[in-house]
A and B are shown apart, each in its own frame.
Chain A
Amino acid sequence: MSAVVFFIAAIGAIAGAIGVVALRNPFYSVLALVGHLLSLAALFLLLRAEFIAAAQVVVYAGAVMVLYLFVVSYIGGGAHQLTPGGSNLRLVAGGAVLALFAELAIAVLGSGLKAIDSDGAPYVSGFGSPAAIGESLLTKFLFPFEVASLLLLVAAVGAVVLARRRKGTTLDDAERDAAHYITPRSLFSGTMAEAVGAIRDPAEPPVGVTDENERSGW
C-alpha cells in the first residue's frame, strides 16, 4: 500500500518539477510547483514527518506560492522563448545535469550505508509530531530557531525597502526609450575595462615609447 502511494507521489513530484522547467508561461510554472509541493508533502507523510508535511502545505504551498502568484500576475507572462541563442549553454547544462544526476545516483545506490536499504530505524511514537518538533526547537535547536526569526525580520524589512516607490527612480516612457540596457559608464569612473587598459585616455602617449631627444651623457 505504501509503495503505491510512494509511486503516485513520486511521479507527481517529478511531473511537477518538469512542468516548472518546461512550461512557457510563468503562471503555469507556479501552478506546477504547487502541485510538486503537494506531492512532496505526501512523501513527507510517508516518511512519518507529519508536522513538516503540514507546514509544507500550509506555509510553502499556501503562503509562499500565493506570494509568487501575486508577483507573477503583476509582472505578466512575457513572451520569451526558452533560449533563443545560447544552444551551447543548453548542451552544457544538459551535460552537467546528467553528470550530476549520475554521480548522485551512483553515490546513493552504491553507498556502503546499510541503513539506506532499510525502511528506517525503529522510532518512538510521537516521532515527527508537533510535540517532538516543538521540543527540539525549544531545547536543542533554540539558537537556530531564534536566528531564523531574525532572518524573517530582515527579509520582511528588505522586501519593503526594495519594493517601495521612490521619487525619480522610475522611468517614464520617453526616458525608457533613451536608456540603454547596458548603461555605459563615464570615462575614468573605475570600470574594470579601464583598469586592464582596454580603454585609455587618447591624450596619453602609448606605453613604451621614450623620448629620443632626451639629453644624455656628460
Chain B
Amino acid sequence: MSTTTWAWLVLLFPLLGATVNGLGYKKLSRGGAGAIGTAAIGLAFVCAVGALISLQGHDAEHRALVSSLWDYAVTGDSGVDAKLSILVDPLSVYMILVVTGVSTLIHLYSVSYMRGDHGYSRYFAYLNFFVFSMLVLVLGGNFLVLIVGWAFVGAASYLLISFWYRRGTATRAGIKAFVINVVGDVGLVLGTFFILRHSGTLDFLGTFRAVEGGAFAGHQGSLTAGCLLLLVGAFAKSAQIPLHTWLPDAMEGPTPVSSLIHAATMVTAGVYLIARMHPLFEQAPAAADTAAIVGCVTLLVAGTIALTMTDIKRVIAYSTMSQIGYMIMAVGAGGYVAGLFHLMTHAFFKALLFMAAGSIIGAMAGGQSLEKMSGFRRAMPFTFGCFVVGGLALSGVPPFSGFFSKDEILAFVGSRGGWFDALYVLGYVGAFLTAVYTFRMIFRAFLGEPCAEAKELEHGHLAHAEVHTNPANGEVEDTDVGFPGPEHTIAERALPMKVAMSLLAFGATFAGLLQIPFVDHVVTNFLEPTFADSKWIEQEPSNGLVTFGLIIGTVIALSGIALAHRIWVAKPGSAAAWQARFKPAYTLFVNKWYFDELIDLVVVRPFAAFGNFSRRTFERVVVEGTLIGGTTSVVRAGSSAVRAIQTGFLRYYAALLLLGGAAVVLYFLIAAS
C-alpha cells in the first residue's frame, strides 16, 4: 500500500468512528461507543505507523508526497487551486503519530473516566471528530484543507469544552474559546490571502517553491503581513499572549478533553503551523522574531500565574501555556526540530499529568481545589507515581524526556546569539518557575496530613458527593445528561486508566532517549527532509553551550524542586509568609495579570456597547421604524385607498364599468383617426 493510502486511512478511521458514534448515540451501548471510538483511533495509529514505515522506504529527496482526492475549485494557471489534498512528509507523519498515539491512550482512559456520564456516546463521537479534525489539519496539503481543519478543530474544542452543557460556566467558557479561536481563524484566512496574492497557488509545496523562487522579491511587506496574520492564528490556537485567555477557562471540559485538546494536540497546532510555513517565516524575519518574543513572554507570564493558582487543572493549563511558549520560541528562532521534539515529549508528560489530575479529582468526588487536597500519597500511590514522573519530566530533570527537549530548545536559542541571549536567560528563569509550580502542586496534593477524602480512601472507601456541585462556583447540579455523571473513577481502580497512564509514563520517561545530545539524533534525522531547505538546519549549538546547558538545566530544575519542598513541605507556614512578602506580585499573578479585565475593557465593552446601540437605535428606528414600518404603512395606505373602490354598491360598479368602456372606445377612436 502506498504511503498516501495509509495517510488517507488515517483520516478515514476517526471519521468513521465519529459518524457511527454520532448517528447511533441512542442505540449504542455504553461499552460499544467507547470501544468503537478507541478502536477507530487505534486503527488510525496503526495506519500512521504504516505510513511511517512506507515513507521511510522512499529515498530522502522524495519524501514529500502529495495526494489529491478531488478538485474542488481549480481556476487556470495563477489562481485558486482548491483541492482536497494531503501532504505526507516527515513532519506530517511525525504529527499524526503523536496525535493518534496520544489520542488512543486518552480514549482508553476516557472509557473508564466517563463511565457514569449520560452523554457517553456523544462524548466519544465528539472526541473522534476532534481527532479527525486535527489529522485533517496536520495532513492538509494546501491552505484550504489547513483552514478547514483549523476551523473544525475549533468547533470540536467548543463542543467538548461545553460538553456538560447545563453548566453555565462551561458554556460560557466554550463560547469564549470559540470566539477567540475565530479571531485566530480570521488571521489565518487573511494571512493566506496575503500569501496567495503573490504565490499564485494554495498548495504548500507550490507556495514554498514560489517563495524560494523569489515570488515575494518586491513584496516583502505582503509576506511579512501574511506571516504576522498567520501568527495571529497560531497564537489564538496555541493560547499565546494576548489570545490566551480562553485556555484556563477551557478547563471546564472533562479532564480527558483537557488532556487531549488543551495539552497534547490542539494547542500545538500553532507550533505545527509555524514549522510547516518555515520557508515563509525565514524570508520574513520580523514575523519569526515576533513569534520568538511572544513565546518567551508567554512562558514567563504563564509560569508566574501558575505559581498562584489553586485549581489543580488551571495550574496544569498555565503550565501548558508556558511550555507551548517554549515551542513557539523555538520554532520562531529556527529550531524546528527542537520545538517539535518538545512537542512530542510535552504531549506525553502533559497528557499524563492531566490524566493523573483526573484521577485525584475523582478521589475528591469532583473537587478540583488544591486547598482542599492533601496527603493522598498513601491512598493513591499509582497516581502519585504518575504525577512525579510527569512533574520530573516537566521540570526538566534528567534522564526524563522533558530535560532533553527543553535543553535542546534553549541551546538552540542561545546559539542564535545577539538579542536571543536574553530569551535564553529568560528561558531558564521559566524553567525554574516550572519546577517550582509543578512541585508546589505535587507536594500540596500528595504530601502532608491526609485530608478527609484521603483518609477515607486509605480505608478503601472512595469519596462520594452527596450533593453534586459545580467546582467553579458551587452551584448545585444533578447528574442527568448535561452534567457530570454520579460516579467518579480513580486510576487505582480502573485498568484502562492504569494502562493508558503507564504507557504515557513510559513515554515521558524514555522518549528523551531519541535525541540525547552527542549520542543520537533520531528525531533530527527523521525530520531532516522536511527542513532541508531551512537556513537554520545546519546551525548547531556549540558543544560547550550544549554541555553548559545540560548542567545548568539540571541545577535549575533541582533547585526549583528544592525550593518548592522548602516552602510547602519542610516549613509548612512559609507559603503564607512568602505571599505576604511579595503581596503586589502575588496579586498581579493571582489575577492572571489582569488580561481578562483588559480584554473586557478594550474589546468586549465597546462591542457590547456597539451592539446595544445598534439594537436600540439603528434596529428599532431605522429598520423597524422606517424600513419595515414604512413599507408596511405605505402598503397599508395604498391598499386602503384601493379598498375604497369595493363599496358593494352595484350601481357604482356598473358606473365604473361604463366609464371604463367609454374610455376604451375613446382610445380606439383616437387611435384610428
Interfacial chain B residues near A132, Cβ < 8 Å: none
- Smallest CB-CB separation from A86: which chain B residue? B651
**Interface contact A100-B604, CB-CB below 8 Å:** no
B662 contacts chain A at the CB level, 8 A cutoff:
yes
Is B652 a contact partner of A89 (Cβ separation < 8 A)? yes
**Which 10 pairs from chain A and chain B are nearest by CB?**
A100-B662, A96-B658, A103-B665, A99-B662, A96-B659, A92-B655, A217-B608, A96-B662, A103-B669, A103-B666
Nearest chain-B residue to A97 (Cβ)?
A: B658
8 Å CB contacts to A: which residues of B610-647? 611-612, 615, 620, 624, 629, 636, 639-640, 643, 646
In residues 92-137 of chain A, which contact B (Cβ within 8 Å)? 92-93, 96-97, 99-100, 103-104, 106-107, 110
Is B661 positioned at the interface, with any CB of A under 8 Å from its CB?
A: yes
Question: When A and B form their complex, what is the total count of cross-chain residue pairs whose Cβ atoms lie within 8 Å?
Answer: 45
Give B605's nearest chain A residue, CB to CB.
A218
Q: Are B658 and A100 in contact (CB under 8 A)?
A: yes
A208 at the interface (CB under 8 A from B): yes
Contact indicator B665/A100 (Cβ below 8 Å): yes
Q: Which residues of A contact B620 (CB under 8 A)?
A: 210
Q: Are A89 and B615 CB-contacts (below 8 A) given A99-B662, A192-B646, A218-B604?
A: no
> With contacts A89-B652, A92-B655, A96-B659 known, is A208 near B629, CB below 8 A?
yes
Query: Which of A104, A192, A196, A218 is within 8 Å of B665, CB to CB?
Result: A104
Chain B nearest CB from A104 CB (Å) reads 7
Highest count of chain A CB atoms <10 Å: which of B604, B624, B669: B669
Residues in A43-101 with C-beta less than 8 Å from chain B = 86, 89, 92-93, 96-97, 99-100
8 contacts between A and B (CB under 8 A): A93-B655, A96-B659, A97-B658, A107-B669, A110-B673, A192-B646, A208-B629, A218-B608
Q: Which residues of A contact B646 (CB under 8 A)?
A: 192
CB of B612 within 8 A of CB of A216, answer yes
Cα–Cα, bound, A44→B417 (Å): 124
Are the C-beta atoms of A196 and B612 separated by less than 8 Å? no
Counting chain B residues whose Cβ lies within 8 A of the other chain, the interface size class is 20 to 34
Q: Is the CB of B661 within 8 A of A100?
A: yes
- Report A170 CB to chain B, min CB distance, Å: 23
User: Does B662 lie within 8 Å of A216, measured CB to CB?
Assistant: no
Interface bracket on A? 20 to 34
Rounded to whole angstroms, the CA-CA distance of A218 and B624 in the bound complex is 23
Q: Across the two chains, which residue of chain B brings its CB closest to A100?
A: B662
Q: For A89, what are the chain B residues with a Cβ–Cβ distance below 8 Å?
A: 651-652, 655
Closest to B604 in A: A218
Q: Nearest chain B CB to A8's CB is how many angstroms away?
A: 30
Measured between alpha carbons, how far is A106 from B672 in the docked complex, in Å?
12
Q: Are B669 and A106 in contact (CB under 8 A)?
A: yes
By a CB distance below 8 angstroms, the chain B residues around A107 are 665, 669
Chain B nearest CB from A96 CB (Å) reads 5
Q: Which residue of A lies closest to B635 (CB)?
A: A196
In the complex, are the beta carbons of A196 and B651 less than 8 A apart? Answer: no
CA–CA, A110 to B665, complex, Å?
A: 14
Q: Does A197 contact B (CB under 8 A)?
A: yes
- How many angstroms between the C-alpha atoms of A104 and B666 in the bound complex? 9
Interface contacts beyond A99-B662, A100-B665: sample of 19 additional A-B pairs, CB < 8 Å, sorted by A: A86-B651, A89-B651, A89-B655, A92-B659, A93-B655, A93-B658, A96-B658, A97-B658, A99-B666, A100-B661, A100-B662, A103-B665, A103-B666, A103-B669, A107-B665, A107-B669, A196-B640, A196-B643, A208-B624
Are the CB atoms of B662 and A103 closer together than 8 Å? yes
Q: Is there an interface contact between A196 and B639, defined as CB atoms closer than 8 Å?
A: yes
- Complex CA gap A96/B611 in Å reads 62
Complexed CA–CA distance, A103 and B670 (Å): 10
A: which residues have CB within 8 A of B?
86, 89, 92-93, 96-97, 99-100, 103-104, 106-107, 110, 192, 196-197, 208, 210, 216-218
**Binary interface encoding of chain B residues 574-606 relative to chain A, with 1 for a CB under 8 A from any of its CBs, else 0:** 000000000000000000000000000000100
**CA A100 to CA B662, docked complex, whole Å:** 5
Q: Which residues of B contact A100 (CB under 8 A)?
A: 658, 661-662, 665
Task: Give the Cβ gap from A159 to chain B, nearest Cβ, in Å.
Answer: 21
Q: A30 CB to closest chain B CB, in angstroms?
A: 20
Query: In whole angstroms, what is the CA distance A35 to B608 when docked?
Result: 88
Chain A positions within 8 Å of B639 at CB level: 196
The residues of B that contact A218 with a CB separation of less than 8 Å are 604, 608
**Complex contacts, A93 vs chain B, CB 8 Å:** 655, 658
How far apart sit A217 and B611, CA to CA, in the bound complex (Å)? 8
Q: Which among B615, B636, B643 is the interface contact of A216 at CB below 8 angstroms? A: B615
Chain B residues within 8 Å of A196, by CB = 636, 639-640, 643
* C-alpha gap A81/B173 in the complex (Å): 84
Closest to A198 in B: B640
The chain A residue with its CB closest to the CB of B652 is A89
On chain A, the residues within 8 Å of B673 by CB distance are 110
Residues of A close to B652: CB separation below 8 A: 89
User: How far in angstroms is the closest Cβ of chain B from A123?
Assistant: 29
Return the chain A residue nearest B609 by Cβ.
Answer: A217
B23 to chain A, nearest CB (A): 35
CB-nearest residue of chain A relative to B639? A196
Closest to B643 in A: A196
Alpha-carbon gap, A166 to B620, bound state (A)? 58
| Closest chain A residue, CB of each to CB of B658 | A96
**Within the complex, what minimum Cβ distance (angstroms) separates A112 from chain B?**
9
Residues of B within 8 A of A208 (CB): 624, 629
**Cα distance A104–B643 in the bound complex, in angstroms:** 32
User: From A104, which residue of chain B is reached at the shortest CB distance?
Assistant: B665
Q: CA–CA, A99 to B667, complex, Å? A: 13
B625 to chain A, nearest CB (A): 8
Residues of chain A within 8 A of B659, CB atoms compared: 92, 96
* Residues 514-555 of B at the A interface (beta carbon under 8 Å): none
User: Which chain B residues border A86 with CB–CB below 8 Å?
Assistant: 651
Known pairs A103-B665, A197-B636, A210-B620; A96 contacts B608 (CB<8 A): no
Residue on A with the closest CB to B663? A99
Contacts of A110 in B (CB 8 A): 673
| Alpha-carbon distance between A92 and B653 when the two chains are bound, in angstroms | 12
Chain A residues closer than 8 Å to B655, beta-carbon distance: 89, 92-93, 96
Residue of B nearest to A83 (CB): B651
From residue B4, how far is it (CB to closest CB) to chain A in Å? 47
Q: Quote the shortest CB–CB distance from A38 to chain B (angstroms).
A: 27
For the complex formed, measure the closest distance between the CB of A168 and the CB atoms of chain B, giving whole angstroms. Answer: 26
Q: How far apart are B602's CB and chain A's nearest CB, in angstroms?
A: 15
**Alpha-carbon separation in the docked complex, A89 to B620 (Å):** 47
Contact A192 B643 (CB under 8 A): yes
Q: Give Cα A99 to B629, complex, Å.
A: 44
User: What is the bound-complex CA distance between A96 and B656, given in angstroms?
Assistant: 9
A217 x B643 contact (CB < 8 A): no
Cα distance, A208 to B665, chains bound together (Å)? 48
Tell me the complex Cα distance, A89–B612, Å: 58
In the assembled complex, which residues on chain A have CB atoms less than 8 Å from the CB atom of B608? 217-218
Interface centre among B608, B652, B655, B662 (most CB of A within 10 A): B662
Shortest Cβ gap from A181 to chain B (Å): 11
Nearest-CB residue, chain A, relative to B172? A218
Q: B654's closest neighbor in chain A, by CB?
A: A93
B604 to chain A, nearest CB (A): 7
Please name all residues of chain A whose beta carbon is closer than 8 Å to the beta carbon of B662 when the two chains form the complex.
Answer: 96, 99-100, 103
Q: Which residues of A contact B612 (CB under 8 A)?
A: 216-217
A11 to chain B, nearest CB (A): 25
Cα–Cα distance between A218 and B655 once the two chains are bound (Å): 64
User: Shortest Cβ distance from B246 into chain A, in angstroms?
Assistant: 15
Q: How far is the CB of A80 from chain B (nearest CB, A)?
A: 13
CB neighbours (8 Å) of B658 from chain A are 93, 96-97, 100
- Residue on B with the closest CB to A196? B639
Using Cβ atoms and an 8 Å threshold, which residues of chain B touch A192? 643, 646
Instruction: Name the distance in Å between A105's Cβ and chain B's nearest Cβ.
Output: 11
Please give, as numbers and ranges, the residues of chain A lying within 8 Å of B629 by CB-CB distance.
208
